[in-house]
Amino acid sequence: MPARVLNGNAIRDQIYAELKQEIAGLAAAGIRPGLAAVLVGENPASQIYVRSKIAACEQLGLGSWLHALPATATTEELLALVADLNARDEVDGILVQLPLPPQVDTKRVLETVDPAKDVDGFHPVNLGRLVSGRAGLVACTPVGCMEILRRSGIPVDAMNAAIVGRSDIVGKPMALLLMHANATVTICHSKTRDLPSVVRRADIVVAAIGRAAMIEADWIRPGATVIDVGINRITDAAQARRIFANFPAKLAQFTEKGSVLVGDVHPAVAEVAGAVTPVPGGVGPLTIAMLMSNTVKAARLRRTRASRASITGVAAAKP
């Protein structure tokens, strides 16, 4: 029996409907959450990602600002821009689109973002809060994966989970989120011994290694849930024929367009797994949805903290 397809677009629409209600409530209180996006250079993929994020803001009624810098921008120029955005009260979230050009100190730039406005969840303060299980802003893709599992009724408690990939953006925070949800987690990577057998023991597999169709069908325990974070564009005809040998529709798409998208999971996995996320239309829509959610959350938390600080200040000023 083919695997159940976990439709990221449908789950995104559920989240957007909930966010619209929360945004309306904030608007009634005179608050309009706003996201500032920083784009450096003319990387086509980055331009598409940023445009889609700005479009999502417009769809939901959030404020948005795009700050585009040339590819020659320096670390100092980016630090100055981030400092300005930190100081602007109407900006609740700051998104620095990655990757940045090689001359820019990426970590220094990301660590300059106010943790209260770090809607990507990359700042060490927010990562530390995640480690300790405290409330904070969590990286969008991992928390989006958790939403897919939760809203699809996939049990996590007491399950064995394998994460293929150990990046700071996906693998590590994904492991923490699953652990906080009481899963037993194994983080796999290129040095993992007998990787297929490790993955085969898992009830939940999260593929985030960045290699096209790397996770094969015989790596997956029958009935397991597979979350495919990868998105790879295939432009080589031999590679397309190898991956899609038994999937004529995908081969026809490649022949027509000269390229085709595939995740880190081989399409044959759907014949073994109990549930899978498609590529495209799986994790991708949730990444943007959780960016919107984090922006609204940041607006709410910032106003709450400001209100508490104001009350504390008034109380301290009384004789």
* pLDDT band, residue 198 (cuts 50/70/90): very high
Residue 118 scores a pLDDT above 50: yes
Per-residue confidence band for 32, with pLDDT thresholds at 50, 70 and 90: very high
pTM to 2 decimal places: 0.93
Measured between alpha carbons, how far is 263 from 11 in angstroms, rounded to an integer?
A: 19
Q: Do domains 30-125 and 140-284 have the same CATH topology?
A: yes
In this predicted model, what pLDDT tens digit does every residue of 153-184 receive, in sequence order? 999 999 999 999 999 999 999 999 999 999 99
Backbone φ, ψ for residue 158 (5° rounding)? 70, 5
The average pLDDT across 236-240 equals 96
Average pLDDT, the chain: 94
Which pLDDT band holds residue 311 (cuts at 50, 70, 90)? very low
Q: Which one from 53, 172, 250, 297 is the annotated catalytic residue?
A: 53
97 as an active site residue: the answer is yes
Residue 120 among the catalytic residues: yes
pLDDT one-digit tens code per residue, 241-272 = 999 999 999 999 999 999 999 999 999 999 99
Give the strand order in the sheet containing 275-276: 4-5, 275-276, 225-228, 204-207, 160-164, 184-188
> What are the C-alpha distances in Å from 135 to residues 16, 34, 121, 128, 294?
21, 21, 12, 10, 12
The domains of the chain are located at 30-125, 140-284
Alpha-carbon span 167 to 187, nearest angstrom: 10
Q: Is 21 a catalytic residue?
A: no
Superfamily of domain 140-284: NAD(P)-binding Rossmann-like Domain (3.40.50.720)
Residue in 92, 120, 203, 228 annotated catalytic: 120
Q: What is the pLDDT of residue 319?
A: 44
Among residues 97, 117, 172, 228, which one is catalytic? 97
Least confident of 27-31, 75-79, 227-231, 306-310: 306-310
Enter the CATH code of domain 30-125.
Answer: 3.40.50.10860
Percentage with pLDDT > 90 across the chain:
92
Mean pLDDT, rounded, for 195-224:
97
Three-class HEC string of the chain: CCCEECCHHHHHHHHHHHHHHHHHHHHHCCCCCEEEEEEECCCHHHHHHHHHHHHHHHHHCCEEEEEEECCCCCHHHHHHHHHHHHHCCCCCEEEECCCCCCCCCHHHHHHHCCHHHCCCCCCHHHHHHHHCCCCCCCCHHHHHHHHHHHHCCCCCCCCEEEEECCCCCCHHHHHHHHHHCCCEEEEECCCCCCHHHHHHCCCEEEECCCCCCCECHHHCCCCCEEEECCCEEECCHHHHHHHCCCCHHHHHHHHHHCCEEECCECHHHHHCCCEECCCCCCHHHHHHHHHHHHHHHHHHHHHHHHHHHHHHHHHHHCC
